[in-house]
Amino acid sequence: MGRALYPGTFDPIHNGHIDIAVRASLLFDRVVLAIYDAPPKKLLFDTAERLQLAQQALAHLPNLEIVTYKGLTVECAREQKADVVVRGLRNVADFEYEQQIGWANGGMAPELELCCLFCSSDYAYLSATILKEVASLGGECGAWAPGHVLDALGRKFDRPLRSTAQKPYLRREDKLVHHD
């Protein structure tokens, strides 16, 4: 079902982002996860670091590739020949933001469709901001991101973080349904 662009800051990628990437990879033929190079917010990880963390987290998705981009998301979508922009929804606040930005993008690129996917309720409270804050204060965040992301956060904040997830995140095989 076409080619989707999944844009975001991914500073760093966490299990909520991965949840949406897995869902998108099952819905679309190709998914391009696009890491916004210079968002108007303070970053913990530089672009190369965010790319490497996302690549390692999503290496198991055969139809997903990762790029970085500068400038408008709609320009990136055109360059990547995407028909659809995918975004994740956690709550009403996300909905209002995505509706606003979706209409703005739709005005610039009417050919582009917006597809918002609900994340699992397990991650409905999770944001990269909360992950970084809890990690920086030495709180329990072991179930929120893959082990290599926790390691990278631990290095930034000079404290080891332990993975505690039983099932680290949604896997493709959890969602695959076989029809005989």
Q: Which is nearer to ligand ADP, 80 or 127 (CB)?
A: 127
Q: Which of 5, 20, 61, 84 binds ligand ADP (CB under 6 A)?
A: 20
> CA 70 → CA 40, 50, 67, 76, distances in Å?
12, 14, 10, 8
Whose tokens are 């606040």? That residue is: 93
Instruction: Dig out the tokens for 57 from the structure.
Output: 């987290």
Q: Which is nearer to ligand ADP, 114 or 180 (CB)?
A: 114
Q: Which of 4, 10, 28, 57 binds ligand ADP (CB under 6 A)?
A: 10
Residues 109-148: x where in contact with ligand ADP by CB under 6 A, - otherwise, as a string: ----------x---x--xxx--------------------
Min separation Cβ 7 and ligand ADP, Å: 6
- Which amino acid, one-letter code, is at 64? L
Residue 19 near ligand ADP by CB under 6 A? yes
Rounded-to-integer distance, Cα 175 and Cα 157, Å: 35
**Residue with the CB atom nearest ligand ADP in the bound state:** 16
| Contacts of residue 9, Cβ cutoff 8 Å, sequence gap at least 6 | 35, 36, 39, 41, 43, 50, 128
Quote the Cα angle for 122-27-73, to 5°. 85
Residue 50 near ligand ADP by CB under 6 A? no
Residue 142 DSSP SS3: coil
Q: Which stretch binds ligand ADP (CB under 6 A): 7-15, 53-61, 146-154, 163-171?
A: 7-15
In this structure, the chain runs to a length of 180
Q: Which is nearer to ligand ADP, 8 or 30 (CB)?
A: 8
- Which amino acid, one-letter code, is at 39? P
Residues that bind ligand ADP (CB under 6 A): 8-10, 16-17, 19-20, 39, 87-88, 90, 94, 119, 123, 126-128
